[in-house]
Amino acid sequence: MSQVKTVARDSVSVVCAIESRFSCRAFLPDKPVAREQVDEILRIASCAASSTNTQPWKVYVLQGDRRDALVANVCAAHDAAYADPSLAAEYGEVDGYYPSEWVSPYIDRRRHNGWTLYGLLGIEKGEKDKMHVQAQRNYRFFDAPVGLMFTIDRVMGRGSLIDYGMFLQTLMLAARAFGLHTCPQAAWNNYAKIVMPFIGASPDEMLVCGMSLGYADESARVNTYRTPRETVETFTCWL
């Protein structure tokens, strides 16, 4: 197939894949995803652009017992840190995923996202037990049968993280072609000291994020949530 001559004639499907992607927070645990499908999705994702073709991504796929074991380990640590706040210092964000100081408009969008989601779930400010349970849904892969962990060699520069973002987006869009949904998750980074040795990553690797992959639970209220988007005019300057 000539990449130069190929025309994406079914533009509706291309747009549909992009616009139907969302962070799915409830999956069907008893509906498995075939390894062949995961393999094909990763193959398609490997077509993503990367500067000078460095392809800096490395992927660890967790299914079955290994998935369940990681879930159990991290959930136990999450529960322990909640019960004894002095343990919380052992876990937390590493490698500067988020800014050290939040400013507007980013903090405003972040807060709106969090409280709107909690509101949909009936969780009010101050209900820490409910917040803890909902936060732990991340570490259960939202019941998805497939968990993915993405790492990068620490020697790579920040430009490679831009490449990685294109790879992740391509993967999420490829999943839509198979009727699957995803949820990219920075929450796993807080427990990198558990995740990295568990998956067999070397000390030279850095955890980029995790991701849930599976079939969406269409009856789950949480999956009705859609994040608002800024208009083109707010982020575009015509020169």
pLDDT of 9 above 80: no
Domains of the chain: 21-98+137-226 (3.40.109.10)
Is the previous residue joined to 105 through a cis bond, with omega within 30 degrees of 0?
yes
Residue 168 CA from chain centroid, whole number = 8
Q: Tell me the two tokens of residue 60.
A: 């660890």
Given pLDDT bands bounded at 50, 70 and 90, which one contains residue 94?
low
Share of the chain above pLDDT 90, in %: 87
Residue 119 dihedral angles phi and psi, to the nearest 5°:
-60, -40
The reported pLDDT for the residue numbered 1 is 63
- What does the pLDDT look like over 146-202, one tens digit per residue? 999 999 999 999 899 999 999 999 999 999 999 999 999 999 999 999 999 999 999
Per-residue pLDDT reduced to its tens digit, 68-79: 999 999 999 999
* Rounded-to-integer distance, Cα 235 and Cα 220, Å: 33
State residue 23's pLDDT score: 97
Report, as an integer, the average pLDDT of 36-63.
Answer: 98
218 φ, ψ to 5°? -70, -15
